[in-house]
Amino acid sequence: MSYTYDFFKESADYVLGKIDYKPEVGLILGSALGTIVDEIENQVVIDFESIPNFLKSTVKAMAGQLILGDLNGKKVACMNGRFHFYEGYSFEQLVIPIRLFKLLGVKTTVLTNAAGGINYDYKPGDVMIIKDHIKFMGASPLRGENIPEFGPRFFDVGTMYTPRLRELAKECAKETTINMHEGNYYFWSGPQFETPAEINAIRMLGGDAVGMSTVTESITAAHCGMDLLAMSLITNNCGDMTDEPTTPEEVGEMGTKVAPQMKKLVRTIVGKL
């Protein structure tokens, strides 16, 4: 599907009509991490379905709301919930949230997700700063006619996960009890979880954690020239690291357990941006 600049501008104009400022930080909260919104003050809440040309969340565990307000001294736009390829959206459609952020005025985007741990050193409850990703599945979200107002046709992604922000996250983690890692995120299509053979292959390819989101958002943010930080909450072990089946309930339980420390971590990072 081919979009125009005005398609995205209509969404941004609607949101900007609800506030009298331009947010400088964009947040997208993944599975089991929605309670981070509790930290946002002076909230203006907009349902995804109310935003022109936006997408609709089909994941019941996600609130499906855009929340604007103040977080530790910064004006933020926060998506409580996100969109996924497995919901039936094309990769080209998945540029919509980040391009909305861009037109709202966002300069820095922080992404969070729930992921399965593949690295033998990772344990449920740990957090991985994404230093790089592996995407072998599907087309680029930027396939189709380029819109130069967002970024160039061709662009480098060697440092798309901003090194300065990764170092900042490591420092901020010292103020929490979180066990922090830095590693590679493997993008999986879902909605089914991975087979043991697939987990073994991902590990051999250099993946440290696996999940079904984030990468399309990251690529779009890089195209838009944004500073970017992405973090995975390791909610479960994968493959030969466990004898138990992976369940959505397991993901939710770990998110609830780590929520207080994740709130503190995100709040501290945003305050120091």
pTM score, whole prediction: 0.95
Domains of the chain: 5-271 (3.40.50.1580)
| SS3 at position 269 | helix
Percent of the chain exceeding pLDDT 70 equals: 98
d(CA 170, CA 32): 22
Q: What angle do CA 145, 150, 154 make, to 5 degrees?
A: 60
Selection from 35, 156, 154, 137 nearest residue 94 by Cα: 137
- In tens, the pLDDT along 33-76 reads 778 899 999 999 999 999 999 998 887 666 789 999 999 999 99
Selection from 133, 102, 109 nearest residue 25 by Cα: 109
Residue 198: pLDDT band with limits 50, 70, 90: very high
* CA–CA distances in Å: residue 209 to residues 11, 50, 105, 188, 195: 33, 34, 31, 10, 14
